[in-house]
């Protein structure tokens, strides 16, 4: 289902070649601020074509609020917001239907839906459908900011190039603000330059490359998170795998932590100078038993290389039942990590905002 | 919430020092087989004390079905099954309340619930609460077997020691069967021996160690998985983070895949000798756009080191507001990976079984 | 919440003075027919201004499908459909905010939402929001027809004037078809004329009048309905009270049946000439223990008199905290029963269609 | 499904001849009072055999809390409570399987479940399964009392005999308290005596009789109730139809109100001597647009005559495919209205308590 949330439910709709894509948001408390400028800012960061290495499509991703908002505030009924589709080149996708693109939705969707699905431009499986998540996430982000909750992301790695990680124990408010305005958010600008080189090189070789995004959330009330299946990790992970390219998620020390001993991993408690209980390390990523410990929540998601590459690839011809080769035309991002970082940030914000309504 | 599932809903209840722990399962189709021997077999594998390296507690984990099952079949109403608690040493936990154990639920639970929670033995946050998940999972496992779906797990690593991974492309039916009967499931027995050495050594040093569990699911119908937020990855990850020690999950090539180029990562399609569409590699872990590709579903979860260690640890005293030291008594597994592998298998089976009801 | 459905979820959005009203429908199986002409036909029957006694507003209620439908079929993603708002007279509602209209949402909404709600034209509480339900219901109706399930409604009474009831035991296919095309659906046309007289008289006296709608569903598979809280009665009643004017619902003999003895009420079984098990009477309204018995499902809903009347009414002035008098301007239906019968039919169809997906 | 609730989820389990019946309650805030004496008091009122006219079975309905409660308070995890089954006479039900009892679940359950259901004693469709609802409802009732919310019920009618109705506008606190302790709650004791005569006479004639229960809820915050499908009427009606004998529900003036004119029906607002906004009449039953108006919430449910009667009844023999006659042995209440009034009260309390968590 395209529906997410326990207290506030978002429902994503649309296909990349329908009249529009959009989202309904049911359950936003009446009087919740909807700052259309803030939403536009987030959409601009996610939009294609905003950096040298992104796809050349120029979709403005202009958001229209059709209902539920009056004078910048919700009125207690469902919010519906849409983005009209304009710049589509349907012909680019001719022939794909019978020659499934490797590592795309094409083949399982064909088996599942027969011919009853909309393949054009990735149809309902397009990365473009993360834009509606960003609308809901942007509303969440601006309202979280008001209550002192900050959500920020950076591109942690592209291929083998790594950025400096977030500090697991410090708040880094200034860094969060800086990253929030960057189209290609990195902590170490040098690393960022190398990443772009890596992406450019892959692109020139008709190829793509993957990456990792790191997300940090500060300001959560200690104890946030419901038991067992509705803890912070459960809801964030469920949300993250709704973003097409995500193939892994780890909190705190994550997989590296599994190699440690308990005495290395465990986060010792201490009283800081202000009498606040803190931990010396934060291998737990700010979460124990699904609940916020009061330390920053930190997680990383693995982003697979963009599956659409210009290089010839082996596949099957479902019409002739023979092995064949496909060359994918069209304009595709050689690396989705920077744009996905906006989506990860917005999606995490929505999941947390929903959890905070309990 | 302690409730999981869209079509079949399980609700876990109990604390480690309540009269019992258990589960209700609502929505199992009438006539579903409930093989109590099969359930007992799974519980025995998860039970403490079944290997040299596990905790010495001897809880039989005997499952009683209170309702919903007549003559080994469901009757269309909710199933309730319980495990009575017997072997509990409450006194082992005295004093913990005010000195939160590092990397345990204690501190956030204290802030969240005040004194209104049951800390004894980990209370509602105990790993013991994975036993009820195993009851539901065992029912799922035996019914999945009937329709040709196999779910198996092995301990992929303990500390730095690694087992041979599953083949991402072959079915390995015999291996699955063998692993299903092992208390410490590994593919390479030599690796298993080294893992046990590693665990024993940690234990002798009053310490613990983490690990990774790999899970493989074969026989799923191609196309299984609902759109966006109810794909295979969404539901499995949400379930996995319900297991207390899990801190990360990755599907297929996962985080390592994020370092690759598209031309390396993409799984080429081909017709095999039987005219079946398969992929040459399986970096996608058998899932594209949340849907089964027809190749084995493969994922790994990171298990943190057991937080309860006998070594002295720094913490705070919430009564005196001073920094202090804690030494945790009681019997604890120095590595939870082997027992958790049973839980991961059962939990994955339940999530898949629920998804298959759509 | 504005969300309804277990397998297929509809989410209603919009206010009477927003850009549009509409609905998203998540979970319609791929390939489900969406017959836009059929939808338009249902919308036309519900539309204001289609009979002498209805409000004089002339809103075309033209439905636009924004997503999820290609070539008259669903593609497996969420369907979004809207109706643009055009003919609104905002000024008619000036001053209402502080003088709550008796038996309207105004007062509780004011207390609940403060000034953060959209009162214009009834805002999110307008009967106009039943139009989106009709879109979803019309899709359900046309697909139910294909599998032999018929849903029909008539105006059972207006004030004291009663129509002939449905036969509780016969299928009456021809009658169902006839009623499906009537703007003021009645079985006995003479009764219909008297109803219109009653309504006209009320209208001339600046007043309104209530009524009862009877609904009949045939062709359901025996045994349909989930246990306890998801039986046919649970889901239909929950849906019906989503229609603003509904204040009661009864199945089969309903309240009159509560006066009977068991020997009078119980529906005896017999084999008919075709070897089918039927009941001689149908006091159960085709439902036992929440499940379809195979006999027609019959229920009635009580529709309160339209609260907006032109007569002066006593109310309070929330600005001055004094008792006062209100005269409601604007165009309002003196009796909502005929238009509501379309909504009841569509809403029942959606609830049943959702239940049939189990 | 046997699951109800948005914020607090109850899941009913058990059959009348299983080891026990019971309920899990997930989501009760930590620290919620669970007064076992109060629960026992409610169970005693519902228990069979507590008045001359009830079934002679003597089931103590002793509630055992298996988990989630420590020292009379919830600890934030799921509560599981059971009632063991003891006094069952399975042989009384022999032969029923093939001769469905009129107006019972037997026939649709047989078609739905084949032989995979538990018919003994009504199995999962027994009125006995309302006992677990009462456990959850009793917890809700005692906690609602603490915040000034009162829920009370009386037997409004049995057959043609009518009790005095609740005052729709006054609080009647003393009456509520009195009714809460009565096994056969009526306002006018003379009417109560006539009801018992009516029931006794029906019983002597091997027959049964139906009735109506009226419920009144005071103290709700004005504005309570979520939009459209989660208003007070939606959630209460969905819950009520989970009680096996309920066949209708009406709020306020209900069906009688549908005969009125708007000028008669509308509830005028006025400021009372304390400056509180009240309505002169309460035809809305305390609910407008799904939200509490601040006046008492009043609804009535129609209870059908007990279907199990000793008189011979016509039915079919599913084994021989012939028409036949059935005589139902066993002990059954000739009128369920008084015992059902306890269930209606508890069930309404749970639904309201759940709604209040928003």
Say yes or no: C108 contacts chain B, CB-CB below 8 A: no
- Contacts of residue C27, defined as CB under 8 A and 6 or more positions apart, other chains included, come to A1, C5, C7, C8, C9, C357
Q: What is the pLDDT of residues D178-196, one digit of tens each?
A: 999 998 999 999 999 999 9
What pLDDT does residue A98 have? Answer: 86
pLDDT at C91 over 90: no
- pLDDT confidence tier of residue B90, bands split at 50, 70 and 90: low
Mean pLDDT, chain D, integer: 92
pLDDT at A55 over 70: no
State whether ipTM is beyond 0.90. Answer: yes
Interatomic CA distance for residues A169 and A162, integer angstroms: 20
Q: Is D223 left (phi over 0), alpha (psi -120 to 50) or beta?
A: left
What pLDDT does residue B123 have? Answer: 73
pLDDT at D119 over 70: no
pLDDT at C93 over 60: no
Say yes or no: B114 contacts chain D, CB-CB below 8 A: yes
Taking contacts as CB-CB distances below 8 angstroms, the residues of chain C near B76 are 227
Say yes or no: A274 contacts chain B, CB-CB below 8 A: no
Taking contacts as CB-CB distances below 8 angstroms, the residues of chain D near A76 are 227
Mean pLDDT, residues A83-103 taken together:
72
Say yes or no: D156 contacts chain C, CB-CB below 8 A: no
> Would you call A238 and B238 a contact, using CB atoms and an 8 Å cutoff?
yes
What pLDDT does residue A301 have? Answer: 98
Taking contacts as CB-CB distances below 8 angstroms, the residues of chain C near D313 are 263, 266, 268
What pLDDT does residue A121 have? Answer: 57
Which residues sit opposite D301 in a β-bridge? D213, D249
DSSP code for A329: -
Taking contacts as CB-CB distances below 8 angstroms, the residues of chain C near A1 are 9, 26-27
Interatomic CA distance for residues D135 and D133, integer angstroms: 5
Interatomic CA distance for residues A299 and B227, integer angstroms: 24
- pLDDT confidence tier of residue D331, bands split at 50, 70 and 90: confident
Cα of A79 to nearest chain D Cα, Å: 13
Cα of A55 to nearest chain B Cα, Å: 16
CB of B333 closer than 8 Å to CB of B306: yes
Neighbouring CB atoms inside 10 A of D356's CB total 17
What pLDDT does residue D93 have? Answer: 53
What pLDDT does residue C124 have? Answer: 77
What pLDDT does residue C126 have? Answer: 86
Interface test with C, best of D1, D235, D241 (most C CBs within 10 A): D241
Mean pLDDT, residues C331-339 taken together:
91
- Contacts of residue D292, defined as CB under 8 A and 6 or more positions apart, other chains included, come to C108, D220, D221, D222, D223, D224, D225, D232, D286
Closest residue in C to A76 (Cα) is C117
Interatomic CA distance for residues C341 and C347, integer angstroms: 10
Q: CB-CB: which of C2, C251, C302 is closest to D228? A: C2
Neighbouring CB atoms inside 10 A of C38's CB total 16
Mean pLDDT, residues B181-210 taken together:
96
What pLDDT does residue A119 have? Answer: 67
Q: What is the pLDDT of residues C152-205, one digit of tens each?
A: 999 999 999 999 999 999 999 999 999 999 989 999 999 999 999 999 999 999
Mean pLDDT, residues A236-255 taken together:
98
What pLDDT does residue B184 have? Answer: 94
- pLDDT confidence tier of residue B115, bands split at 50, 70 and 90: confident
Mean pLDDT, residues A167-196 taken together:
96
pLDDT at A120 over 70: no
pLDDT at C122 over 80: no
Q: What is the pLDDT of residues D40-61, one digit of tens each?
A: 999 999 987 656 566 655 656 8
Say yes or no: A251 contacts chain B, CB-CB below 8 A: yes
Mean pLDDT, chain C, integer: 92
In degrees and rounded to multiples of 5, residue C239 shows phi and psi of: -65, -45
Interatomic CA distance for residues D338 and D306, integer angstroms: 12
Mean pLDDT, residues B5-29 taken together:
94
What pLDDT does residue D113 have? Answer: 87
Chain-centroid distance, C-alpha C317: 33
> Would you call B76 and D9 a contact, using CB atoms and an 8 Å cutoff?
no
What pLDDT does residue D89 have? Answer: 52
B211-220, C52-61, C245-254, C258-267: segment of lowest average pLDDT: C52-61
What pLDDT does residue A168 have? Answer: 98
Q: What is the pLDDT of residues C47-89, one digit of tens each?
A: 876 565 665 556 568 999 999 999 999 998 999 999 998 755 5
Closest of D62, D68, D86 to residue D25, by C-alpha = D68
- pLDDT confidence tier of residue C332, bands split at 50, 70 and 90: confident
Mean pLDDT, residues A116-128 taken together:
75
pLDDT at A96 over 60: no
- pLDDT confidence tier of residue A87, bands split at 50, 70 and 90: low
Interface test with D, best of A5, A8, A24, A27 (most D CBs within 10 A): A27
Q: What is the pLDDT of residues A278-330, one digit of tens each?
A: 999 999 999 999 999 999 999 999 999 999 999 999 999 999 999 999 998 87
- pLDDT confidence tier of residue A114, bands split at 50, 70 and 90: confident
Q: What is the pLDDT of residues B232-272, one digit of tens each?
A: 999 999 999 999 999 999 999 999 999 999 999 999 999 99
SS (H, E, C) chain D: CCEECCCCEEEEEECCCCCEEEEEEECCCCCCECCHHHHHHHHHHHCCCCCCCCCCCCCCCCEEEEECEECCEECCCCEEEEEECCCCCHHHHCCHHHCCCCCCCHHHHHHHHCCCCCCHHHHHHCHHHHHHHHHHHHHHHHHHHHCCCEEEEEEEEECCEECCCCCCCCCCHHHHHHHHCCCCCCCCHHHHHHHHHHHHHHHHCCCCECEEEEEEEECCCCCCCCCCCCCHHHHHHHHHCCCCCEEEEEECCHHHHCCCEHHHHCCCEEECCCCCEEECCCCCCCEECCEECCCCEEEEEEECCCCCCCCCEEEEECCCCEEEEECCCCCCCCCCHHHHHHHHHHHHHHHHHHHHCC
3.60.150.10, 3.30.70.360, 3.30.360.10, 3.30.70.1560: which CATH number matches C3-355? 3.60.150.10
- pLDDT confidence tier of residue B329, bands split at 50, 70 and 90: confident
Q: What is the pLDDT of residues D274-327, one digit of tens each?
A: 999 999 999 999 999 999 999 999 999 999 999 999 999 999 999 999 999 999
What pLDDT does residue B48 have? Answer: 76
Retrieve residue D74's tokens.
């919830």
Task: Give me the percent of chain A exceeding a pLDDT of 70.
Answer: 92
Cα of A248 to nearest chain B Cα, Å: 4
Q: What pTM was estimated for this model as a whole? A: 0.95
Closest residue in B to A293 (Cα) is B108
Closest residue in B to A284 (Cα) is B103
What pLDDT does residue C58 have? Answer: 60
What pLDDT does residue D122 have? Answer: 61
DSSP code for A289: T
């Amino acid at each position: 289902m395209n529906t997410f949330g326990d207290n506030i439910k978002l429902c994503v709709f649309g296909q990349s070649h329908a009249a529009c894509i959009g989202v309904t948001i049911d359950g936003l408390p009446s009087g919740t601020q909807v700052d259309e400028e803030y939403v536009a800012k987030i959409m601009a960061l996610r939009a294609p074509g905003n950096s040298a290495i992104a796809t050349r499509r120029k979709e403005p991703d202009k958001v229209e609020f059709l209902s539920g908002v009056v004078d910048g505030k919700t009125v207690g009924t469902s919010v519906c917001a849409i983005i009209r589709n304009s710049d589509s080149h349907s012909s680019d996708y001719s022939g794909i239907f019978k020659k499934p693109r490797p590592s795309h939705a094409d083949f399982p969707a064909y088996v599942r839906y027969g011919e009853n699905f909309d393949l054009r431009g990735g149809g309902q499986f397009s990365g473009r459908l993360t834009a509606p998540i960003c609308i809901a996430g942007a509303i969440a982000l601006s309202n979280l900011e008001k209550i002192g909750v900050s959500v920020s992301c950076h591109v942690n790695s592209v291929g083998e190039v790594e950025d400096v990680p977030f500090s697991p124990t410090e708040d880094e408010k200034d860094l969060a603000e800086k990253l929030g305005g960057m189209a290609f958010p990195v902590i170490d600008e040098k690393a960022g330059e190398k990443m772009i080189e890596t992406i450019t090189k892959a692109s020139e070789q008709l190829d793509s490359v993957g990456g990792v995004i790191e997300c940090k959330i500060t300001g959560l009330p200690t104890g946030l998170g419901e038991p067992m299946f509705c803890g912070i990790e459960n809801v964030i992970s469920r949300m993250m795998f709704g973003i097409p390219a995500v193939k892994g998620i780890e909190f705190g020390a994550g997989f590296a932590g599994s190699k440690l001993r308990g005495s290395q991993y465990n986060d010792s408690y201490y009283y800081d100078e202000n009498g606040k209980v803190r931990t010396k390390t934060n291998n737990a990523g700010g979460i124990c038993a699904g609940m916020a410990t009061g330390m920053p929540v930190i997680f990383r998601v693995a982003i697979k290389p963009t599956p659409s590459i210009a290089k010839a690839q082996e596949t099957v011809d479902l019409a002739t039942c023979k092995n064949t080769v496909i060359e994918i035309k069209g304009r595709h991002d050689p690396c989705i990590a920077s744009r996905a970082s906006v989506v990860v940030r917005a999606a995490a914000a929505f999941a947390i905002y929903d959890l905070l309504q309990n």
